[in-house]
Each structure stands twice: as structure tokens, then as C-alpha cells.
Amino acid sequence: MKAIWQYQAMLGACVLTGSMAWASTQPACDKPLTIHGFETCADVDAARAEGKLVVYSPNVEQATARTLKAFEQLFPEIKTQYVRLQTGALYARLMAERRAGSHMVDVLNLSDRGLAEDFLKQGGYAHYPTPQLPHYEERFRSKPAGYFTAGTLIMAGIAYNPNRIAPEDVPKDWPALNDQRWEGKISVKSANSGLQYTAWNELRDLYGESYWQAFARVKPRPFDSYVQQFDRLVNGEDAFAHTAQYSGYLEFRKKGAPIAFVAPKGGLPVIPEVWGVVEKAPNPQAARLFLDWLLSADGQKVIVNEFFVYSPRADVAPPENGLPLKEMKLLTPEPDEWPTYVAGRKAFVQEWGRISGLRK
């Protein structure tokens, strides 16, 4: 049975149980160093000597670059690089590199926890219990803790251009988009998207197999980036964006774009984006230092401000103009269900290809 997260109680419990969590999340060192306001178990001098950090991430380029720049401003000796691909494609590239014996990445960010579970099973993550772990509720940590941690929360709903959709046509729930009036006028994310895969599972559980069968008849168009989805709404190329990122809506809204967002009555699928240090990272101390900063309150504030996403930390505020998490009905797998997502992904890719018109 899928969980509907009750964030108000959960995030409060995150603070209350911090001392209890510490017993099961002892940091990688006995006495973490406090530097620039955050605790780290990295060898900072060694990290500076390494002088480089490589991050793999599915996030948008500009915000990723600004986030890494914020880290560089604290540690100018460490030059950062990143590779950006949608999660499925990123993971395929990573695995191909590792099969070839090539180890190029230091920190891995995935928007599909199922793939993170698979990478953990294959020994891909280094065990590094960051001193920041006590600030993250158990469901946001790998099991066992210290391999990867959810650093951001991303939810999906429905987006549209209010200048082009009449008020009476604004959908209140997901099934409203299955109306044949919208045939060829709805965008979705591609099969490489971790958010799309989670939405596929959650909405199928919520409405049954018939939901996606009906949705296929409106002939949705897939795109790799939420930026493409929202640009098409602004330009009038599509009526609706299905599985529209709430973070993308907040970003475009801040820019003044004519975009509106619907939080469907059935709920919003949510994914925890996870971060971890990669085993055999070429710059392991820089990787540890970056992870500690990213998961600290200051690092999380940078992430929230740059990407308009939500932090799992109770001491970090929502993004600008974002609804409090307690006001959202969020849909997500139970913690012990994430590993099974790996097994179902291949079937999803094939079925999503048929639904989105990329294969027959």
C-alpha cells in the first residue's frame, strides 16, 4: 500500500527524534570539523589538494552551475564540473563507464531512488555517514544509512497557461486530462525521467490500469526537460503539462510567465532526489566535503533558492511562494518498496514509449 506523506507531523518528528537518530547514524569521524558554518568529516586540506570535483546530476544546467559556484566560493581551490542528463540516461552512462573500468564521477545525484537502490546493491556508493544525517528523517536515508541521502523533494501536478484555458476547462484532478478534447495537446516527461516513473506507479495505484490506457488515447508528447514543457505552454503549443514539476512552475512564475498550477485532488507524486559519494571517486575528500555542505542547512538553502524545490530538513523553509508541505497531499512509495521499482522500470520504459508515441 502506498503512503500519503503527512509532512507536518513527519517534519516535526525529524527534530524531536534527532538525538535518537544519532545513535544509528554515527558520523564518519569522532570529531567533525566545523568550517564555514557546517560540519564535515572530510580532510579539508586533502580536498583542496585534490582541487577538483565532478558531479553527475539530472538537474537543469544553469541552477546546477550556480549551486556549484556557491561551493567554489567557499573553497576556491576546488574547481567543479558536472554532467547533466535525464536520470535514466545518466545512470546508463555511469554504468557503461564503470563496466569499462572508468571512474570519473565523485558525487552522484539521481531523481529515481529505485536506481539509487540498484547502484547501492552493486556497490556503487562509498560508505560515508555525513555529520548531517541526524537532520534527515529515516525515510530520507539509504538503508543502511550513510550511502545516499535525499537532498531535495520534487512533486508533480498539472500546469497550464491561464491566458489560453477557460476557467471552466481547468482540471481539478488527473482523470480530467483524459478527455479527447485535449488529444495532441498535452506534454509529459520522457521515460528517462525519475519523476515520470514515480507518477506512472502512483497514479496507476490510485486509479488502476485503465487510467493510463485512457491517457494514451489523448496522444501525449514526451520531453526530456520541464523547461520544454513550460515553454510550450507559454507559446500555446500545448494546453496542459502532465507531470508538471511544481518547482518549474515556481521558477517560471517568478520570471513572470503566464503559468498556473493545479494540485490534483488525488495527490501529487513526489520523488526524493538522492545524493551520495561514489565508490572509487577520483576526488574522494572533495566529494565528502561537497556532500556535507550540500546537506547542511546552508547548502539546502542554496538548493531551494536555485531549484525552487523542497528540502527534507525541518529547519529549511519552502521555496519562495511555495505552499507549505503540510498543505499538500503527496504520493510516494513506502521505503521498502523502492527496490522493486528497479525491476519494473524496463516494463515502464516500453509501455511509456507506446503511450507517448515513441514506439509501437
Q: What is the DSSP track for 194-220?
A: HHHHHHHHHHHHHH-HHHHHHHHTT--
Complete domains list, the chain, with CATH = 10-153+271-318 (3.40.190.10), 154-270+337-355 (3.40.190.10)
User: Quick check: 14 pLDDT over 60?
Assistant: no
> Which residues, other chains included, contact 341 with Cβ-Cβ below 8 Å and sequence gap of 6+?
112, 113, 114, 117, 197, 201, 333
Q: What is the pLDDT of residue 24?
A: 56
User: What does the pLDDT average to over 304-320?
Assistant: 95
User: What does the pLDDT average to over 2-19?
Assistant: 42
**pLDDT by residue (tens digit) across 88-118?**
899 999 999 999 999 999 999 998 888 999 9
User: Quick check: 20 pLDDT over 80?
Assistant: no
**pLDDT by residue (tens digit) across 192-251?**
888 999 999 999 999 999 999 999 999 999 998 899 999 999 999 999 999 999 999 999
Which residue do the cell numbers 536515508 mark?
141
Mean pLDDT score of the chain, rounded to an integer? 90
Strand-pairing partners, residue 134, are none
Strand, helix or coil for residue 344: helix
Residue % of the chain over a pLDDT of 90: 78
Lowest-pLDDT range, 87-91, 277-281, 317-321, 356-360? 356-360
∠ CA 14-305-261, rounded to 5° = 90
HEC-encoded secondary structure of 259-299: CEEECCCCCEEEEEEEEEEECCCCCHHHHHHHHHHHHCHHH
All three cell numbers of 19, joined, read 538525538
What's the CA gap between 286 and 278, in Å, rounded?
12
Q: Output the pTM of the full model.
A: 0.85
